[in-house]
Structure 1
Amino acid sequence: MTPAPTLSTARLVLRGPQKRDLAAFTAWATQSARMEFVGGKVSARDAWRGFIAGIGHWNWHGYGFFTVTEKTTGMATGRVGILNHIDWPQPELAWHMFDGFEGKSYAFEAACAVREWAGRSLGLAPLISLIAPSNTRSLALATRLGAMEERRDTVDGEKVIIMRHLRYDDPRATAQAAGAIT
């Protein structure tokens, strides 16, 4: 089994998924309006399958979604990590924050840490993000991270904008990471 490392930022701890994270993930997957951007709300059974698949992703690829937690409370606030599903064009830097934790720059902070880890520890080329054209919040985050639109495509039957991220060692990425990673 490939254990996820633990990454730390100024306000967050990013760690591998644990059983105790299932309830927060299930609430998000079954109830959040933002699920419209990732295929729609699912049943609790499908949320469980998705959660377990995320653990399997770590074992298959050696990377996956980190559970993002607040340092002060330990509460799970969302997931940020690297995905590479079958028929994906290449590894993707992906994120979703659970309801009540948006607008705090947690996704930005966590994405900076994951981008740094992916480049430095895994040697991955600049990552992409696959974003639904109507997902203005994710497009804004990708832009804030320095990503640029590379092309538009259809992936898994969904229209997406493929945003190309900065290399982890690009001076702009380094400056962003310096402000986020402790």
Structure 2
Amino acid sequence: MSFTELSVPRLETERLVLRSWQEQDFECLKTIFCHEETARYVGGARSEHMVWRQMATIIGHWHMRGFTVFAVERKEDGKTIGYAGPWYPLGWPEPEIGYALIPEAQGKGYAFEAVQAALRYVYDALGWETAISVIVRENEGSRSLAKRLGAHHVGDINLPERPPAEIWRHLSPTEHRKRLSSGELLDEV
């Protein structure tokens, strides 16, 4: 059996590494997707078998689109704490920046840090001129994060097998870079 090695970039922030997926990252995805409490904003709880397929979908997305969400690893202990990055599955209105973290990593500014790195990547490396995040209406944490990142609500969407959601448009590449250089997008952890 052979495996085609993908040339997935490795992004680093002060506290995180955004990297390609490894088999041991399955445990992180199980924590996110197998429990209703953590999966309610990402399509609902799934069986372990379906989470395995989700992981294969994430990895396969790189082959089909040339990008995918990164595994997010905490530098201090090497633990995979979630995912963040570019995502564009069938039925989505346009490419988005998706993210989810395990419960123990939430509320510590990791999502803010990871999404900023993902935005820099899609703007600088992939040449995107815009990015959205699709956020379930009841997900106050993600709505708050989008606002802190400078995104604004531009409409609503109903996607197959998902609860009603909102589309949040992120800053343009120029505005994002301007706010980063001015220090406006510094996280208050």
Q: TM-score per shorter chain, which class? A: over 0.9
What are the superposed Cα offsets for residues 35-73 of structure 1, whole Å, 9 maximum, x if unpaired?
A: 111221100000000011100001111111101111121
Equivalent AA in structure 2 for residue 13 of structure 1: V
- Give me the whole-angstrom Cα distance separating, in 2, the residues matched to 1:148 and 1:37: 19
Contact (CA 8 Å) 2:31, 2:38: kept in 1 or not?
no
- 1:3 Cα shift? 2.6
| 8 Å CA contact retained: 2:146, 2:170 | yes
Q: Counterpart in 2 of 1:91? A: 95
For structure 2, list consecutive stretches of 5 or more residues without a partner in the other structure.
Answer: none
Alpha-carbon RMSD across the aligned residues, in angstroms, is: 1.7
* 2:152 partner letter: M
Q: Which amino acid aligns with 1:167?
A: S
2:49 aligned counterpart, secondary structure: helix
Query: Which of these residues, 56, 65, 68, is aligned with residue 69 of structure 2?
Result: 65
Asked if residue 116 in structure 1 is aligned to residue 120 in structure 2, the reply is: yes
TM-score, reference length from structure 2: 0.89
Cross-structure match for 2:179: 172
Cα distance in 1 for partners of 2:91, 2:11 equals 28
Structure 1 residue 155: Cα displacement = 1.9
Structure with more relative contact order (C-alpha pairs < 8 Å, separation 6 or more): 1
Bigger mean CA deviation after superposition, 66-75 or 157-166: 157-166
- Cross-structure match for 1:127: 131
> Identity of counterpart residues, as a percentage?
32
Structure 1 segment 24-173 matched on structure 2, within 5 A: 24-31=28-35, 33-157=37-161, 158-170=163-175, 171-173=178-180
**Offset at 1:102?**
0.3
Structure 1 length-normalised TM = 0.92
How far did 1:179 drift? 4.8
Distance 1:172 1:34, change over 3 A: same
Which stretches of structure 1, 4 residues or longer, exceed 3 Å deviation after superposition? Answer: 173-180
Q: Judging changes above 3 Å, is the alpha-carbon distance between structure 1 residues 85 and 174 closer, same or farther for their aligned structure 2 residues?
A: farther
Q: Deviations over 1:78-111 (max 9, x none)?
A: 1001110112111011110012110110010010
